[in-house]
A and B are shown apart, each in its own frame.
Chain A
């Protein structure tokens, strides 16, 4: 059965590579071909389904606790980010077909994570008793979702800033390239929604983490942990984004700059336990 999971994972990698190439090809194509657009989406959907299948088979055969490993962490991240992207495409593509540009950025990231996952396939992670808890399971799942959503948000924020700078500098014609990017309105709104999503998941991540830490006396000093502090900082930045957006109508450039700062805080959070000692140290790969 383990081999079946591996095969599903490989097929997912093939589908993701196909999807990446198709999205990139469609982005550069002079004329959009309908079946090429559909093929890209289909390949991405196939990658998503295969990743889920692979993950479920693994969990089903070796059990939840033994299946936790760096490999799984990365595979789950790849699965989530594909899922988030497909959701966006489903909701937005009819009104704003240019959001498919995002596929050309997101799907290669998925491929990279699949390779990173395969790279650490042999690495095992024996769960300590501290980690054998449903709270930890939820904590990790929410964290992966939050990272996936903020990846999409930063992509859109960068697209917004590039597009806006060109329009403000009146160099609109200088780059035919940016014509294929989503409009200011679409990228701004998509960035906002992704941040709402990421912020909500971050709240849950921090919440479940604290609950679990409070259960264990050795983790009672959680408020000194660097990863937790970084997560709270990220949460505050995204909270600030949502706050000024609603209260002071900071849409557009200012809001998107805040979104990018939030993403860097998120990156730091992700790597914090690699750089500094932390109670998350065994969680490398998550």
Chain B
């Protein structure tokens, strides 16, 4: 019985390859059924996201297991073996456990600390569970992995702060205003990044969106897209007096908003704080504006540096997470080792021997003055019964252990003779069957966490600007 992980990810394979290998959700049950049909494979979970496709399996032997899984991938996805093989990585035993724990903890993700992966791992496991492709080992492994994924998020700051520019803007706004509920945002000019930011703001409670642009027609289009109200460009000062947050991203080569204008606005606002976000290049808002009383101005570089330092923070947290993962792997390994045949047999023998001695002692209390001979007969009798009784099960167990699903016998034996607590002396009690449903979903995650994808979107955008 061996756990192996086979797969490819953004680290080893380009998108063209990942696309071909990925499994759409509706085909998973079928694929899983096909996979566990291979002779060496007894359990499987397929984790397929846009960044990775990985197959976790319990196999009878490592080499034949690997071969079967590659065969399955090639046949099922209609790929050439030698074209696929160079992108694949393998982990076996403790290393496979380590890998799945790191994946669930988002330590292996493109954006370390992103929250989607935990939900994706959960979905992958649920599909496999429902398709009856998992059994004791992978059930335990994935439930444990999901717990590890949750644990790193609650015990470290790995998922705490914004790592996308648009979300960093929202986080900053929340430090100026207690709540974004019912606030007004004014959008000047168009752009993918400002739309993204507005969407985040709306998700956080902003109710009113004002949109303005040099050409009113364009403003109108943008406003329709964002569900907002179009404003004439000449009315910008008037609108700023009404807004709490301003996002500017025009293509203008000069400053669109200067200091004296904002000073007028602040006077009209009676000095109520305003948060200005300038994500245009070249900048739209005179940086001098930031020195005005109760004006908080962030340009794209400021936001970028916030993101950078948050990323550094995550890197530090990731270091802590690695430690947590190591410890959890050790825990899991100590559980899995109880499934080994040799320790199980010796525990069984110990258990039988201790019962024998206990019963013998009880009997001896009733017979006083037994001779040496009588004593040795009694001893031999009890030993004989115990050994005879255990002989067959032990021989059969040894035979079965090397076959497919052999550990099921071991597990049954442990259960029938109540060996669990004895095998795990000092360790945790073995079975913690938590309902899968009680483990969190993506919806449970703080909303600061939906930005891993934004970041990718932003990279596309900023790539576009640079190009």
User: Does A168 make an interface contact (CB < 8 A)?
Assistant: yes
Q: Given A185-B273, A251-B271, does the pair A170, B175 have CB atoms closer than 8 Å?
A: no
For chain A residues 146-185, which have a beta carbon within 8 Å of chain B?
163, 167-168, 170, 172-174, 176, 178-179, 182-185
CA of A179 to CA of B157 in the docked complex: distance in angstroms? 13
Looking at B160, B178, B307, which has the most chain A CB atoms within 10 Å of its CB?
Answer: B178
One of A170, A172, A182, A253 near B178 (C-beta < 8 A): A182
User: Does B154 make an interface contact (CB < 8 A)?
Assistant: yes
For chain B residues 298-316, which have a beta carbon within 8 Å of chain A?
298, 302, 305-310, 313
User: How many whole Å from A257's CB to the nearest CB in chain B?
Assistant: 12
User: How many whole Å from B204's CB to the nearest CB in chain A?
Assistant: 13
A31 contact set on B, CB distance < 8 A: 154
B270 contact set on A, CB distance < 8 A: 249
B178 touching A183, Cβ below 8 Å: yes
A186 contact set on B, CB distance < 8 A: 178
B175 contact set on A, CB distance < 8 A: 163, 167, 172, 178-179, 183-184
A183 contact set on B, CB distance < 8 A: 174-178
User: Of the 9-residue stretches B20-28, B88-96, B289-297, which lies at the interface with chain A?
Assistant: B289-297
CA of A95 to CA of B174 in the docked complex: distance in angstroms? 13
B293 touching A254, Cβ below 8 Å: yes
Q: Given A184-B273, A251-B271, A252-B273, does the pair A173, B310 have CB atoms closer than 8 Å?
A: yes
CA of A182 to CA of B178 in the docked complex: distance in angstroms? 7
Question: B301 — nearest CB in chain A belongs to which residue?
Answer: A170
For chain A residues 77-101, which have a beta carbon within 8 Å of chain B?
95-96, 98
One of A96, A184, A250 near B176 (C-beta < 8 A): A184
B302 contact set on A, CB distance < 8 A: 170
User: Does A34 make an interface contact (CB < 8 A)?
Assistant: no
B273 touching A96, Cβ below 8 Å: no
Q: Chain A interface: which size bin?
A: 20 to 34
A167 touching B178, Cβ below 8 Å: no
A174 touching B309, Cβ below 8 Å: yes
CA of A253 to CA of B174 in the docked complex: distance in angstroms? 18
Contact with A along B236-260 (1 / 0, CB 8 A): 0000000000000000000000000
B178 touching A95, Cβ below 8 Å: yes
User: Does B382 make an interface contact (CB < 8 A)?
Assistant: no
A167 touching B179, Cβ below 8 Å: no
B161 touching A167, Cβ below 8 Å: no
One of A168, A170, A178, A251 near B305 (C-beta < 8 A): A170
User: Does A122 make an interface contact (CB < 8 A)?
Assistant: no
B296 contact set on A, CB distance < 8 A: 167-168
A95 contact set on B, CB distance < 8 A: 178-179
CA of A269 to CA of B273 in the docked complex: distance in angstroms? 34
A251 contact set on B, CB distance < 8 A: 271-273, 294
B307 contact set on A, CB distance < 8 A: 173
For chain B residues 148-201, which have a beta carbon within 8 Å of chain A?
154-157, 160-161, 168, 171-172, 174-179
CA of A31 to CA of B296 in the docked complex: distance in angstroms? 29
B178 touching A96, Cβ below 8 Å: yes
B176 touching A185, Cβ below 8 Å: yes
B157 touching A185, Cβ below 8 Å: no
B294 touching A176, Cβ below 8 Å: no
B309 contact set on A, CB distance < 8 A: 173-174
CA of A163 to CA of B176 in the docked complex: distance in angstroms? 9
CA of A183 to CA of B296 in the docked complex: distance in angstroms? 13
B177 touching A253, Cβ below 8 Å: no
B271 touching A252, Cβ below 8 Å: yes
Looking at B168, B174, B271, which has the most chain A CB atoms within 10 Å of its CB?
Answer: B271
One of B157, B172, B272, B313 near A172 (C-beta < 8 A): B172
B178 touching A185, Cβ below 8 Å: yes
B155 touching A30, Cβ below 8 Å: yes
A179 contact set on B, CB distance < 8 A: 161, 171, 175
User: How many whole Å from B300's CB to the nearest CB in chain A?
Assistant: 12
User: How many whole Å from A259's CB to the nearest CB in chain B?
Assistant: 16
Question: A189 — nearest CB in chain B belongs to which residue?
Answer: B178
CA of A142 to CA of B131 in the docked complex: distance in angstroms? 72
A176 touching B174, Cβ below 8 Å: no
B305 contact set on A, CB distance < 8 A: 170, 173
A30 touching B271, Cβ below 8 Å: no
A168 contact set on B, CB distance < 8 A: 290, 296
For chain B residues 262-304, which have a beta carbon within 8 Å of chain A?
270-273, 290, 293-294, 296, 298, 302
User: How many whole Å from A186's CB to the nearest CB in chain B?
Assistant: 4
User: How many whole Å from B285's CB to the nearest CB in chain A?
Assistant: 14
User: How many whole Å from A151's CB to the nearest CB in chain B?
Assistant: 22
Contact with B along A235-273 (1 / 0, CB 8 A): 000000000000001111110000000000000000000
A252 contact set on B, CB distance < 8 A: 271, 273, 293-294
User: How many whole Å from B454's CB to the nearest CB in chain A?
Assistant: 17
B273 touching A176, Cβ below 8 Å: no
CA of A31 to CA of B179 in the docked complex: distance in angstroms? 19
CA of A95 to CA of B177 in the docked complex: distance in angstroms? 11
CA of A98 to CA of B290 in the docked complex: distance in angstroms? 26
CA of A254 to CA of B273 in the docked complex: distance in angstroms? 13
User: How many whole Å from B296's CB to the nearest CB in chain A?
Assistant: 5
Question: B310 — nearest CB in chain A belongs to which residue?
Answer: A173
User: How many whole Å from A45's CB to the nearest CB in chain B?
Assistant: 24
Question: B272 — nearest CB in chain A belongs to which residue?
Answer: A251
Question: A178 — nearest CB in chain B belongs to which residue?
Answer: B175
A178 contact set on B, CB distance < 8 A: 175
Contact with B along A195-218 (1 / 0, CB 8 A): 000000000000000000000000
CA of A277 to CA of B309 in the docked complex: distance in angstroms? 56
CA of A185 to CA of B272 in the docked complex: distance in angstroms? 9
CA of A30 to CA of B156 in the docked complex: distance in angstroms? 7
CA of A97 to CA of B198 in the docked complex: distance in angstroms? 24
Contact with A along B368-410 (1 / 0, CB 8 A): 0000000000000000000000000000000000000000000
A253 touching B179, Cβ below 8 Å: no
For chain B residues 399-443, which have a beta carbon within 8 Å of chain A?
none
Task: Given contacts A30-B154, A250-B271, list 8 more A-B pairs with CB under 8 A.
Answer: A30-B160, A170-B302, A172-B175, A173-B306, A184-B175, A185-B177, A252-B273, A252-B294
Q: Can you pick out 23 interface pairs between chain A and chain B where the beta carbons lie within 8 Å of each other? A: A30-B155, A96-B179, A98-B178, A167-B296, A170-B302, A170-B305, A170-B306, A172-B175, A172-B306, A173-B305, A173-B307, A176-B157, A178-B175, A184-B175, A184-B177, A184-B273, A185-B176, A185-B178, A185-B273, A249-B270, A251-B271, A252-B271, A252-B273
> Which are the 8 A-B pairs with shortest beta-carbon distances?
A249-B271, A173-B309, A186-B178, A173-B306, A249-B270, A183-B178, A96-B178, A170-B302
